[in-house]
Amino acid sequence: MDETAQAVYLRILGDPELRIRDLVVQLGLSESVVRSSLDELARMELLRSSVHEPDALQPVRPEVALHALLAREQAEVSLRQQRLAESRVAVETWLAAQVDRRDDATPSVERLIGIDQIRDKLGQLAVSCQSEACSFMPGGAQSRASLDASRPLDEEAMARGVRLRTVYQDSVRNDGATLEYAKWLHTRGGEVRTAPTLPLRMLVIDRRQALVPFANENSGAGALLLTGEGIATALMALFDSVWRDSVPFGLTPLRDEQGLSIQELRILQLLAQGCTDEVVARRMSVSVRTVRRVSSELLSRLGAQSRFQAGAKAFARGWLKLEDLEV
């Protein structure tokens, strides 16, 4: 905890009836600095809104908060252990599949360095694909060069009866060139959906081969071509999960019973996890300005004066659930 947050916490601990304006006057700080400190205290679970009076700031005794923090840490450790166990099973399944392969001349992992090698391999995969190609295309707007390279490959594959399923991010709807390509793909028989966020860039061919980048932030630097039923099955399970929750192209993104769009709900979840505007914008592939606009609208709808208070009210109204902190 920094000195400013500590000063704010001690002042509220001494007088729980204080309001934001009181803290501004007594501590000689700006309102934005006070609100930032309150958000930090909330993330540390040293401060919460009153159930009966949402505008009141209730301090949590340090010894009580410590137990809550330890409980959350234990839950995170358990979750990491579970994910590690799942990853170990996936790796063991993949390795077992490699042992059982009869064609030892075919490499199970092929490294592709640079965009030229990746595009050459994409051309080969498009020609060899027999039944289905499934892809995640994160990052919103796609480059013109990438779109131009993909069009003839997709067109030829669809002409042969290959099923193409593609998931873009919702922000693709804001880029003219990518939006036009998605429409073209849709009208030619390709299946296109959008999702608020995507876990990685990938392409799975015939549920047998998968192309994934070295680094999701720079997919043109290099990629791995993974061959084997085990790893392909794991990646297809991920794809099918995201596909089920995605919005079919051409439909307006649905709103839930609270009237929240998928984008608004995802931004609210990320803010509740303590993500900054910049982190939210990067994950959603939208501008920081968009994140701030949506955040401001959400605070207004909730009648909240700070993000911490917005999170508390969102939980109180049922807009967010505890599991949203782990998405």
Per-block average pLDDT, block size 10, for the chain (327 residues)? 82 81 89 86 74 65 62 67 72 62 59 88 89 87 79 88 89 78 85 84 91 75 84 88 81 57 79 82 77 84 80 79 58
DSSP string, 219-270: TTSEEEEEESHHHHHHHHHHHHHHHHHSEETTSPPPB-TTS-BHHHHHHHHH
Q: Which fold has domain 102-248?
A: Endonuclease; Chain A (3.30.870)
Instruction: Output the pLDDT for position 64.
Output: 62
For 271-295, b where at least 16 C-beta lie within 10 A, e where not — what string?
A: bbebbebeebbebbbbeeebbeebb
Q: Which fold has domain 255-326?
A: Arc Repressor Mutant, subunit A (1.10.10)
For 234-264, b where at least 16 C-beta lie within 10 A, e where not — what string?
A: bbbeebeeebeebbebeeeeeeeeeebbbbb
Residue 161's nearest CA partner among 187, 206, 130 is 130
- At 150 the three-state DSSP class reads helix
* Residue 188 CB coordination number (10 Å): 13
Instruction: Output the pLDDT for position 107.
Output: 47
Please, are residues 195 and 169 in contact by the beta-carbon 8 Å criterion?
A: yes
The Cα–Cα gap between 164 and 191 comes to 6
pLDDT, tens digit, for every residue of 164-197? 999 988 777 777 788 888 888 888 888 988 887 7
CATH 1.10.10.10, the chain: domain bounds:
3-59, 255-326
Q: Which tokens go with 167? A: 């998931």
Residue 271's nearest CA partner among 217, 313, 216, 317 is 313
Separation in Å, CA 239 to CA 196, 223, 245, 261: 14, 18, 10, 22
Instruction: Output the pLDDT for position 164.
Output: 92
Instruction: Output the pLDDT for position 257.
Output: 57
The pTM of the full predicted model, rounded to 2 decimals, is 0.50
DSSP string, 62-89: HHHHHHHHHHHHHHHHHHHHHHHHHHHH
Q: Which fold has domain 3-59?
A: Arc Repressor Mutant, subunit A (1.10.10)
The Cα–Cα gap between 219 and 169 comes to 16
The Cα–Cα gap between 261 and 281 comes to 16
Please, are residues 69 and 44 in contact by the beta-carbon 8 Å criterion?
A: yes
CATH 3.30.870.10, the chain: domain bounds:
102-248
Tokens 């947050």, residue?
5
Q: Which tokens go with 102? A: 């009869």
Rounded to 5 degrees, φ, ψ at 248 are -55, 140
Please, are residues 314 and 274 in contact by the beta-carbon 8 Å criterion?
A: no
